[in-house]
Amino acid sequence: MCGRYASARKRHELMEEFEIELDTEEELGPDYNVAPTKKVYAVMSRVPRTEGAERPVRQLRVIRWGFVPSWAKDPSIGSRMINARVETVAEKPAFRKAFASRRCLLPADGFYEWMAAPEGAKPAKQPYYIHPEDGGVMAMAGLYEFWKDPSRPDDDPLKWLCTCTVITTSAEDGVGHIHDRMPMMVERDRWAEWLDPRVSDAGRLLVPALAGRLEAYPVSTAVNNVRHNGPDLIEPLPGDGEPAVLF
């Protein structure tokens, strides 16, 4: 499961990193405790709604984390659909249409996982921060969907809700001792194909971990509370020694 991550890059940094062609110009502040139902940056490729536009254009959008299928009666279902398992994403009714043509990249600096402590130890679950050793951006594989609110008039700007989910996989050995699931990553040279809605065999583009190395270290349990935020959340616990290189 991926239930929290950090995303502190500025919009202009992400635009350069992901070679964005079309930007909504909505700026999010640095978030070191991204949680379900929060707004997040998503990179997607769509044909612009302009006359004569034919090809998909890479865009940076702000959407909500927590997937709401187009057929859902209530958007609250999104809080329970923050992850899609790679093993079933192509067949599961909630995700299969989005997997076919509405794929996205969710930029992150790193993600959190919780490891169960020995019986009687405190805290019962120790949070770890897992991130690229070189400080690069992680491109988590995601899906997005549009949901139409039947209670709002057609000219209401809130008529449509765009949401997303993070695709997860079994954790590699280095991460597996912390938690048995981790986000799927898309390598840079596969971004264009993954985002292209015309590509039908996208499953082959997914990889279980970054091409480079990840490192992990325990952090404060302050991250457990979604009201806590700030760069202190990703600081190693004092006296814990060097971070562990996982890959």
What's this model's pTM, rounded to 2 decimal places? 0.92
- Measure the CA–CA gap between 141 and 190, rounded to whole angstroms: 11
d(CA 33, CA 177): 22
Annotated catalytic residue, options 17, 54, 113, 119: 113
* Nearest Cα to Cα of residue 138 among 81, 89, 187, 67: 187
pLDDT at 211: 43
pLDDT confidence of residue 25: 81
Concerning whether 51 is annotated as a catalytic residue, the answer is no
What pLDDT score does 156 carry? 87
Domains of the chain, with CATH numbers?
5-113+135-205 (3.90.1680.10)
Residues 8-32 have pLDDT tens digits of 999 999 999 999 998 888 999 999 9
DSSP 33-95: EE-TTSEEEEEEEE--SSTT--S-EEEEEEEEES---TT-S-GGGGGG-SEEETTTTTT-TTT
Is 2 known to be catalytic?
yes
- Which residue is catalytic, options 2, 104, 145, 164? 2
> Which residues of the chain fall below pLDDT 70?
172-176, 207-212, 240-247
Question: 161 pairs with which residues across the strands?
Answer: 147
